[in-house]
């Protein structure tokens, strides 16, 4: 790690996040009310963006990113972990031009591990609860690495800590996202269980990752082939509206003044589908 990287990591590049809610019994309260207090545990520097003029916006400057899982948790089978981590990466590859590949050698961009307490960096974990995981912003060496506290009970359900949700959040950091103040966002700094069946990136997180890397051009092309063909208009509209990945890109389709309109981020744009220019509109 270069000195600059070392400094940046200490200066707030590592995001300590996803503190679990700590349930405390209020002593001496006659009503015996149990209050839930959320303990805020973040990186040492409260405003990470203060450092951006030193480090620039940290993002990967390539579209194929490799990862390696070097230590597994015993809470799940190895194949459950592999599948869940792949699923977490896919949330991002669905909506950006990024592709992710699991590798088993030292060339990996992102190292993922499960380990308790001291695990090789300056941020030892804290035992059960509290900090669940942390990850580094994109960069060389430790950049992008994601560490999971193996004193937590990792699960694929709502019991314990759901690995898909935490991995998706940490990968957000590994790709360059900071925390969000919005409690509905995946990048909110505290763990909130939500049902993970059919889970996709919340809109805010999708927009933020697309602002860094752009939209998934393959998906755009896929959307537009519907229009280039000779399908009846109603069928085109119904396919596009229900096409999961099109919807994830933020596309909306409607008809107006006899034309089919496609919009991205609610800005209506009328385009002639035959000329294929639609793929370039912003």
Catalytic residues: 170
- Of 51-59, 106-114, 141-149, 190-198, which segment contacts Zn ion by CB under 5 A? 141-149
- Of 74-82, 115-123, 153-161, 267-275, which segment contacts Zn ion by CB under 5 A? 115-123
Residue 115, beta-bridge partner list: 149
Q: Which is nearer to Zn ion, 51 or 123 (CB)?
A: 123
121 scored as a contact of Zn ion (CB under 5 A): yes
126 scored as a contact of Ca ion (CB under 5 A): yes
Instruction: With CB under 5 A as the rule, give the number of residues binding Zn ion.
Output: 5
H or E segment to which residue 133 belongs = strand 133-136
Q: Which is nearer to Ca ion, 68 or 134 (CB)?
A: 134
Residue 126's binding partner among Zn ion, Ca ion, none (Cβ under 5 to 8 angstroms by kind) is Ca ion
Question: How far is the CA of 253 from the CAs of 190, 256, 259, in angstroms?
Answer: 35, 10, 11
- SS3 assignment, position 142: coil
Q: Which is nearer to Ca ion, 128 or 279 (CB)?
A: 128
Min CB(63)–Zn ion separation in Å: 24
Give the residue, chosen from 15, 84, 174, 210, that forms a contact with Zn ion under the rule CB under 5 A: 15
Residue nearest to Zn ion (CB): 17
Rounded distance between C-alpha atoms, residue 207 and residue 213, angstroms: 10
Rounded distance between C-alpha atoms, residue 259 and residue 236, angstroms: 12
Q: What are phi and psi of 132, to 5 degrees?
A: -95, -30
Picking from 222, 177, 223, 171, the residue whose alpha carbon sits closest to that of residue 204 is: 177
């Amino acid at each position: 790690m270069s000195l600059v990287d070392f400094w940046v990591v200490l200066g707030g590049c590592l995001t300590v996040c996803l503190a679990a809610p700590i349930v405390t019994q209020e002593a001496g309260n006659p009503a015996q009310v149990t209050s839930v207090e959320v303990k805020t545990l973040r990186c040492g520097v409260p405003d990470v963006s203060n450092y951006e003029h030193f480090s620039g916006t940290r993002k990967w400057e390539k579209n194929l990113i490799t990862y390696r899982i070097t230590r597994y948790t015993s809470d799940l089978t190895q194949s459950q972990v592999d599948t869940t981590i792949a699923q977490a990466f896919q949330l991002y590859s669905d909506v950006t031009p990024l592709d992710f590949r699991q590798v088993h050698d030292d060339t990996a961009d992102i190292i993922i591990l499960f380990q308790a307490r001291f695990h090789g960096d300056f941020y030892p974990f804290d035992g059960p609860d509290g900090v669940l995981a942390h990850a580094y912003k994109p960069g060389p060496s430790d950049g992008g690495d994601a560490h999971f506290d193996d004193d937590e009970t990792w699960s694929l359900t709502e019991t314990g800590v759901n690995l898909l949700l935490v991995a998706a959040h940490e990968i957000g950091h590994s790709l360059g996202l900071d925390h969000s103040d919005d409690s509905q966002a995946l990048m909110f700094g505290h763990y909130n269980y939500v049902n993970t069946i059919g889970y996709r990136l919340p809109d805010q997180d999708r927009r933020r990752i697309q602002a860094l890397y752009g939209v998934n051009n393959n998906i755009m092309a896929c959307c537009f082939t519907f229009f280039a063909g000779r399908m009846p208009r109603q069928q085109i509209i119904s396919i596009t509206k229900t096409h999961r990945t099109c919807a994830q890109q933020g596309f909306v389709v409607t008809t107006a003044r006899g034309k089919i309109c496609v919009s991205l981020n609610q800005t209506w744009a009328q385009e002639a589908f035959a000329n294929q220019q639609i793929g370039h509109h912003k």
